[in-house]
Amino acid sequence: MEEICYRPIGIIHSPFKAPKGTPIQPPGGEGVEGKVEVFLQFAEGLKDLEGFSHIFLIYHFHLSKEPSLTVKPFMDDETHGIFAIRGPSRPNPIGLSVVRLARVQDNVLHIRDVDIVDQTPLLDIKPYVPEFDTREVDKIGWLEKNLHRLPSSKDDGRFSK
pLDDT per position as a tens digit, 39-93: 999 999 999 999 999 999 999 999 998 888 998 887 788 999 999 988 888 999 9
Question: What confidence tens digit (pLDDT) does each residue in 118-136 have?
Answer: 999 999 999 999 888 878 8
Q: What is the pLDDT of residue 21?
A: 86
For residue 157, pLDDT beyond 80 = no
> What is the C-alpha separation between 41 and 67, in angstroms, rounded?
32
57-to-13, 146, 161 alpha-carbon distances in Å? 12, 25, 22
Banded pLDDT at 146 (limits 50, 70, 90): low
For 8-17, 61-70, 106-115, 143-152, which range has the lowest pLDDT when averaged over its residues? 143-152
pLDDT computed for residue 145 by the predictor: 75
- What 144-150 contacts at long range (C-beta under 8 Å, 24+ apart), as own/partner pairs, is 146/75, 146/76, 147/75, 149/74, 149/75, 150/24, 150/25, 150/27, 150/28, 150/75
Fold of the 10-131+139-146 domain: Elongation Factor Tu (Ef-tu); domain 3 (2.40.30)
| Domain parsing of the chain, residue ranges | 10-131+139-146
